[in-house]
Amino acid sequence: MAEKFIIQGGRKLGGEVEIRGSKNAAGAILAACLLTKEPCVIDNLPLVEDILNLLEIIEGMGATVEWIEKRKVKITANDNLDVKKIDFEKFSKARTSVLLLGSLVSRFKEFKVSRPGGDKIGLRPITTHLDALEKLGCEVEEQGDFYFFKTKELKGAEIILPEFSVTATEILLLAGCNAKGKTVIKIAAGEPHIQELALMLNKMGACIEGIGSHTLTINGVENLNGVDYNIILDALEVGTFLIIGALCGGEISIPDIQGDYLDLFLEKLKEAGVNFQRENGFIKVKKSENLKSIKVQALPYPGFPTDLLPLIVPLLTQAKGKSLLHDPLYENRLSYIHQLRKMGADIEIVDPHRAFIFGPTDLSGVSIESSDIRAGACLIVAGLLAVGETIISNINQIDRGYEKIEERLQKLGAEIKRTNN
């Protein structure tokens, strides 16, 4: 039987939250370990389904994966690495697996992979990634459910991405390190987890300039060395628990995120009237009364993160007036709104990218279903706020991005349990 979450809403929460390592950073960092034959030690790994699946793919290809501690792993991708051993079923399971392409084109002259999986939040073709690799000298052919790659020699090139694609930028960083000559990436995405990947690659001996900007320059090198690296905290988890605290808190204390990834998100929370303070490496948030309606739009970094857009919706159902939500990136991102409507939310979907949220409205517990990672987290927030019992099915989607979130919520006083019934 598929697992479900059962939530008894309306409980007052308080205490200190544990934040795990960034899932979005971990995927590319694990892929980078395949660029060297020397051992790489990666710490603060989030033990979520997508990352564990990626480790299984890497190990299945012949790399040695040794767990040193609960969240610390040593990966050695020496000459035993065999691209013919890719588990296509696992590769198709999660979107994260596509990151391996950047390393595999550097290590192997010829290979094939299956189509990657991921969230059902709209069209997410990998055309941008494939076009970018072709400009470095890789031949790509699509046949049915497989992609075939052939490379004589990777050569540096100037690549102008058609959009601020996080994954395409990461793949080019991985592939460009060993390409002959200079690679310039323009319209590069600049998220902190991309900066972390570039910093790690430089620590391995790469030569990447412009880190944090939208133009990256990579001077190719012949070899990369092993590295010890610690994954940054997950800003998306910080954002999730901030909103939970604003709606359900006595007072919740959350480790603060390094860097500026949450700057605009935090500004929008201030604008909405959320009661929080940043001090001594923590963000402390209390239940926030008299919330105000706002306009919020997902934008490429340093804009409002698209992955936090669903999380702010339950908050806006408690704000006075009409809020506008706009996600120009994914046409199916708003599917979770139908689930919130079942709970009593007053939300009008204007088009596939925009919605009006009217508040404040009371939410009631019902049976609902998660469609993707962030939609599932949104529904958990709504369930914690709602009166009565909320049952969330398809929670394997949530597990892909949040490590045992129910256990951390229980420590705060939430009445939430995982069940097979």
Q: Which domain holds residue 259?
A: 4-20+233-419
167 and 132 in one domain? Answer: yes
pLDDT at 330 over 80: no
Q: Which residues pair with 324 in a beta bridge?
A: 295, 356
379 and 282 in one domain? Answer: yes
Give CA–CA dist 15/411, Å, rounded: 8
What pLDDT score does 120 carry? 44
Record the pTM: 0.94
Average pLDDT of the residues in 16-28: 96
Structurally, the chain folds into a number of domains equal to 2
Q: Which helix (H) or strand (E) holds 42?
A: strand 40-43
The mean pLDDT value of the chain amounts to 94
Neighbours of 54 (CB within 10 A): 22
Residue where a domain terminates, one of 209, 230, 251: 230
328 and 372 in one domain? Answer: yes
Residue where a domain terminates, one of 230, 254, 271: 230
CATH number of the domain within which 237 lies: 3.65.10.10
Coil, strand, or helix at residue 294?
A: coil
246 and 145 in one domain? Answer: no
260 and 153 in one domain? Answer: no
215 and 129 in one domain? Answer: yes
Give CA–CA dist 25/403, Å, rounded: 15
**Minimum mean pLDDT range among 113-122, 179-188, 374-383:** 113-122
Q: Which helix (H) or strand (E) holds 415?
A: strand 415-419
pLDDT in tens, 192-217: 999 999 999 999 999 999 999 999 99
Q: If we measure between CA atoms, which residue out of 356, 350, 354, 300 comes closest to residue 327?
A: 354
185 and 278 in one domain? Answer: no
Residue where a domain terminates, one of 230, 259, 274: 230
Average pLDDT of the residues in 260-272: 94
What pLDDT score does 333 carry? 75
Average pLDDT of the residues in 5-13: 97
194 and 269 in one domain? Answer: no
Please give the share of the chain, as a percent, with pLDDT higher than 90.
88
